[in-house]
Amino acid sequence: MDSYTAKSDTCCPISCAGLELFAKERILIKRCLPIRGLCNDPDIPNPPIITLFDSNLSPDSTQLPSGVITVVNTTENSSCSMVLFVTDVLGAVSTEVENNSSFTVTVNRLSIVFIVCVGPDQTEFCTGTYEMDLSYDINK
């Protein structure tokens, strides 16, 4: 009678040998995008949004990217700030990015990122940059 170890080539010749059944390829997304938007009254419902990233995938997708995003508000001499909205596998969060400041966040399976420029003077603009360093895996 033959004895077999727990890592038997008879039971599972490929997966137990430590090989992946499907080859994967890592996709990198590195972008720096300018932001420029008119300030909106913070009290109006449904203000215009500036979409910075939208995956168009199901929130359950394993191909949603993960990594780091940064929003830099370079607005000067203005009371216009940015409200950043981020949705990933952990849920939705929002934060205000004031003039001449930045906000960096680590994301896991990112779905959408958008901002709303808010301030009392609707003739002013908020300006800045959106930087992303993301990656995800696909099956080859």
Contact 38, 122 (CB under 8 A): yes
Kindly state whether residue 72 falls inside one of the protein's structural domains. Answer: yes
125: containing domain:
25-139
At 8 the pLDDT is 46
**Sign (positive or negative) of CA dihedral 106, 108, 110, 114:** negative
Can you tell me the mean pLDDT for 92-97? 95
Kindly state whether residue 96 falls inside one of the protein's structural domains. Answer: yes
Kindly state whether residue 3 falls inside one of the protein's structural domains. Answer: no
- Residue 126 belongs to a domain with what CATH number? 2.60.120
Kindly state whether residue 118 falls inside one of the protein's structural domains. Answer: yes
Kindly state whether residue 79 falls inside one of the protein's structural domains. Answer: yes
Total tally of structural domains belonging to the chain: 1
| pLDDT tens-digit series, residues 97-113 | 999 999 999 999 999 99
| pLDDT tens-digit series, residues 41-86 | 888 888 899 999 999 888 788 889 999 999 999 998 778 899 999 9
Kindly state whether residue 5 falls inside one of the protein's structural domains. Answer: no
pTM of the complete model: 0.78
